[in-house]
Amino acid sequence: MTDRSTGHDRVVAVIGGGISGLAAARVLAGLAPVSEQLSNGGDNSVARRTRVVVLEAGHRLGGKVASGELAGQPVELGPDQFLRRDPSAERLCRHLGLGDDLVAPAASTAAVWSRGKMRGLPRGLVLGVPTDLDAVEQGGIVSAEGVNRARLDGELDGPVLDAFDVGLGEPPADGPVEERSAGEILRARLGDETVDRLVDPLLGGINAGGVDTMSLGTAAPQIAQALIGHRDVIAPLAATLPAASGSAAPSSPFYGLRGGLSRLIDACCEELAGAGVEIRTSSPVNTIRSSGTGWLLETGQAALAVDGIVLAVPGYAGSELTKDCVPDLAGTLGEIAYASVAVVTLAFRTEALSLPSRWTGVLVPRIEGRLMTAATWLSVKWPWMSGEETSYVRVSAGRFGDARIDDLGDEELAARLTSELSEIAGIDAGPFACKVTRYERSFPQYQPGHRSRVAAMAKALYAKPGLALAGAVLGGIGIPACITSGEVAANRLTCDLGR
Ligand SMILES: Cc1cc2nc3c(=O)[nH]c(=O)nc-3n(C[C@H](O)[C@H](O)[C@H](O)COP(=O)(O)OP(=O)(O)OC[C@H]3O[C@@H](n4cnc5c(N)ncnc54)[C@H](O)[C@@H]3O)c2cc1C
């Protein structure tokens, strides 16, 4: 589709200006390399002939990535860190000139509120799954009886797990069998208490979900992989850990960005604008229709005819958009459940606040029945988020299966969480400023069968060249996984449209 007004050979749209969509736009604009097999030796003349338009419904870019201000200081209101194991986010920050502002958290471990007090996480956990039960017993998060139950892991009989059992393989050919949830697998081996008090707050907490409604293979592939061919959990998982390496402190697996992760979004946008990418905010796409070899987008303003689309929106939004043009895709996207969360950021006078600063914050297990799911001592974890006189704490609430936040107004929510924070962390001082940020339907739930759903979406897309899917909906909640998903989707679209 030649766009005579701009002299471009083709037009592609990225729907959704979160980190996934921006990462896709960078590849489409020739700012990031396409994959090896598509590479034409560094010639990005094709990208130069492509008009790239980013359409974002909100008034700002970044989606869930949202830094803001409270009491005159910059604070993170959404994500505050990313994993370094997948290098894509760190690489992008460095590429955009933000390398000097990458910072590791100043404290590295959290506590769990369990059995009446805050207790530090024991060593040897992999997303909450223990590999050292002596350390778990010493830590006290799980009672002695609970630890003794977990010690039976190596002795109990049970099925040898295969790839399908742990959510990493194809379903057996001889009939549909439900994938077992992470909770089902782990409870059978470790007992309920260890799962409820240790595994669920960490593994479940990452997705604002719970292990009983989670696919182990999608949410924690490294754990799932370790269990294949075994009955038990602890020994095979322990075997995957690197041997302790003397006295050197391990470097943090996380990075944050001084000044806030929104700086990454701003830098991406600046680079995209410099490359001629059109970025339109307050431009929700209402409908996608097939049109000849391309697509027609209704945006509420003018319709936009495009040759290709990267769809980088939450599953339910993608389902709505594709229900007429790719109903199979829409059906599967619509099956993916989401959890809503709320984040209450509190500003305290530093002199009045005493925090247990050996921890970054505290996780609160679901079985405690509290509204609060976690608290982060922002000013301890990230010294850049503290003024001389002001310190910040953030309290989170809401998870899959617990929608109590929906029934509370902002003021009541903040009051309830401040009161729980005081009971749990012994913070007697009252905050002098507070900001409530709600993220409705923000955390996709990777439920058992997610892998099959992703395969079904890939099949639906295969039959519809010129449409690619990116974002957390595919199975990686973290910022690095989202960046990778955007880059992969853009590669796929480039391939579809023919170089
Ligand atoms: C409170 C919170 C804390 C988190 N903490 C961390 C963390 O510490 N580390 C980490 O790695 N990850 C964290 N995450 C997860 C991570 O932030 C998200 O998974 C990631 O940012 C999602 O990016 P995305 O681009 O796929 O989706 P989104 O950020 O949701 O972006 C999608 C965009 O699409 C737009 N859109 C929707 N419908 C339309 C439409 N019809 N037309 C046009 N635009 C549309 C939306 O407005 C949105 O801007 C956190 C998430 C939350 C909510």
Say if residue 382 is in the same domain as residue 471: no
**Distance, CA 316 to ligand 1 centroid (Å)?**
13
Task: Say yes or no: 279 and 323 in one domain.
Answer: yes
78 in Cβ contact with 64 (< 8 Å): yes
Give the residue whose CA is nearest to atom 34 of ligand 1: 16
274 shares its domain with 288: yes
Q: 342 and 416 in one domain?
A: yes
CA of 65 to the centre of ligand 1 (A): 6
pLDDT in tens, the chain (499 residues): 666 566 678 999 999 999 999 999 999 999 987 654 444 444 555 566 889 999 999 999 999 999 999 999 999 999 999 999 999 999 999 999 999 999 999 987 899 999 999 999 999 999 999 999 999 999 999 999 999 999 999 999 999 999 988 999 877 777 657 789 999 999 999 999 999 999 999 999 989 999 999 999 999 999 999 999 999 999 999 999 987 655 555 688 899 999 999 999 999 999 999 999 999 999 999 999 998 889 999 997 789 999 999 999 999 999 999 999 999 999 999 999 999 999 999 999 998 888 888 899 999 999 999 999 999 999 999 999 987 899 999 999 999 999 999 999 999 999 999 999 999 998 888 999 999 999 999 999 999 999 999 999 999 999 899 999 999 999 899 999 999 999 999 999 998 888 5
Q: What is the CATH number of the domain that holds 162?
A: 1.10.3110.10
Residue 270 lies in a domain: yes
User: Would residue 112 count as lying in a domain?
Assistant: no
Q: How far apart are CA 125 and CA 133, in angstroms?
A: 10
* Residue 75 belongs to some domain of the structure: no
Distances, alpha carbon 404 to alpha carbons 372, 394, 413, in Å: 10, 18, 10
Task: Domain of residue 169: give its range.
Answer: 118-238
Mutate to test the pocket of ligand 1, among 281, 479, 483, 488 (most ligand atoms within 8 A of CB): 479
pTM for the full predicted model? 0.94
* Separation between Cα atoms, residue 418 and residue 408, nearest integer Å: 14
Please answer whether residues 19 and 62 qualify as being in contact, where contact means their C-beta atoms are separated by less than 8 angstroms: yes
Q: Give the Å distance between the CA of 308 and the centre of ligand 1.
A: 22
**Residue 416 and residue 349 share a domain:** yes
- Residue-wise DSSP of 7-67: TBSEEEEEE--BHHHHHHHHHHTTSSPPPGGG--TT--HHHHTEEEEEE-SSSSSBTT--E
Residue 230 counted as domain residue: yes
User: How many distinct structural domains can be found in the chain?
Assistant: 3
Kindly report the CATH number assigned to the domain that includes residue 283.
3.50.50.60
Identify which of 78, 58, 48 has the alpha carbon closest to the alpha carbon of residue 15.
58
Nearest to 198 by CA among 134, 117, 111: 111
Question: Ligand 1: distance of its center to the CA of 190 in Å?
Answer: 34
Together in a domain, 440 and 343: yes
Examine the domain organization and report whether 343 and 375 are in the same domain: yes
Residue 282 lies in a domain: yes
Q: Are residues 330 and 343 in the same domain?
A: no
Residues within 6 Å of ligand 1 by CB: 15-21, 55-58, 63-65, 78-82, 284-285, 312-314, 317, 321, 341, 343, 439, 442, 471-472, 477-479, 482
Q: Which of 205, 238, 271 is the last residue of a domain?
A: 238
CA-nearest residue for atom 13, ligand 1, is: 79
- Whether 130 is covered by a domain: the verdict is yes
Domain of residue 355, CATH code: 3.90.660.20
Mutate to test the pocket of ligand 1, among 313, 321, 336, 440 (most ligand atoms within 8 A of CB): 313
